[in-house]
Amino acid sequence: MLNIDDIKSIDSHNMSEVYDRWPQIATDNFSTNFSKVDIKNIDHVVFAGMGGSGTIGDVFASILSKTDIHVTVVKGYLLPKTVDNNTLVVSTSISGNTLETISILKNVEKSNAEFVALSSGGIMEKFCMDKKIKYYKIKEEHSPRASFLGFLYSTLNILEQIVPIKKTDVSESIQSLFNIQRIISSKNLNKTNEALQIAEWIKEIPMVYYPWGLQSAANRFKNSMQENAKMHVITEDVIEASHNGIVAWNKPKNVQPILIQGKDDYVKTKERWKIIKELFREKGIPYKEIFSQEGSILNKLVCLIYLLDYASIYNAIISKTDPTPIKSIDFIKKRL
């Protein structure tokens, strides 16, 4: 079992300390007095961003999936051709220096869409000032990936007039984050810490299965394990995998299945989970089940992301890996 001295000696940049403050960071960013984006007749929102910034778009795509607003998530250089004067483009680069996201902003002069940008400064801030793009400067906490929750709740705040998310859902999600914090934080390093349990269980390559509505949490877990624990991770939609990927279990391999399930998954999805678990038991394949909270889709996603992000930090520390350095990413960025 980890102790606080292990964390202090390996987590040299104190990432865990930031995660201990995540619920308060969410509270502060949602209650900040930002000017609201209030544009009429928006029926299409494009969220542009990479890495942790891209996860913000993934979460909004999930929470708006049952509304009349069409959401496109762009993780690259180009805007879709469906962008028109009823489109809002929300470009987020936590560092403010992400080349792909800045490339999206450069469409402002040739597009009829409305543009909004969020960053902690960087090139993006100056570009937006020069081009008179509506810009919000948000504090970076430790690193882009650790700043995810602050930027997410800032975006919920800023888009309050456009995005039909109930304030009660936001309040519920923040309260749930505080509840989870007491269980998974570095102040509770014992057997009741679910994030630590997950981290200790993962010893091989995780294969993460998820239902469509929880895709953003699964992808975020993949990214966090890759950056923090420096470990390969595979993700698969449980329904699609039932038509192809499940066959790969016919051969032994160094992969561990993790099943991310919603407590109110669609009835046929629940049936699929039951059958897949039966298959794993018959083949003697150990698996890990992780269940979402109840409540709104926002509540489900942010609580899963909090739990699984912290699991990735603990897994890094267990393997004596400092979660902060990302030398391979730095290698690529320096050559672009």
In this prediction, residue 282 carries a pLDDT of 96
User: Helix or strand or coil: residue 61?
Assistant: helix
Instruction: Express each pLDDT in 35-75 by its tens digit.
Output: 999 888 899 999 999 998 899 999 999 989 888 899 999 99
Side by side, which strands form the sheet with 288-291? Answer: 234-237, 205-210, 255-261, 288-291
All CATH 3.40.50.10490 domain ranges of the chain, comma separated, are 14-167, 170-318
pLDDT of residue 214: 96
Selected from 3.40.50.10440, 3.90.78.10, 3.40.50.10490, 3.60.20.10, the CATH number assigned to the domain covering 170-318 reads 3.40.50.10490
Over the stretch 203-218, which tens digit does the pLDDT of each residue have? Answer: 999 999 999 999 999 9
Residue 281 pLDDT level (bands cut at 50, 70, 90): very high
What percent of the chain is predicted at pLDDT more than 90?
A: 90
Alpha helices in 185-326 (DSSP H): 194-201, 215-228, 238-241, 267-283, 297-318
Other CB atoms closer than 10 Å to residue 19's CB: what's the count?
Answer: 25
Q: Quote the radius of gyration of the chain (alpha carbons, Å).
A: 20
What pLDDT does residue 38 have?
86
Fill in the amino acid letter for 317: I
- CA dist 54 and 73 (Å) reads 8
Task: Give yes or no for residue 30 having a pLDDT over 90.
Answer: yes
The pTM is what?
0.96
Quick one: pLDDT at residue 220?
97
pLDDT of residue 263: 85
Interval 89-111: pLDDT, tens: 999 999 999 999 999 999 998 99
pLDDT in the model for residue 98: 95
| pLDDT > 90? residue 314 | yes
Q: Thinking of the domain 14-167, which architecture would CATH place it in?
A: 3-Layer(aba) Sandwich (3.40)
Cite the beta strand spans of the chain per DSSP E: 44-48, 70-74, 87-93, 114-119, 134-137, 205-210, 234-237, 255-261, 288-291
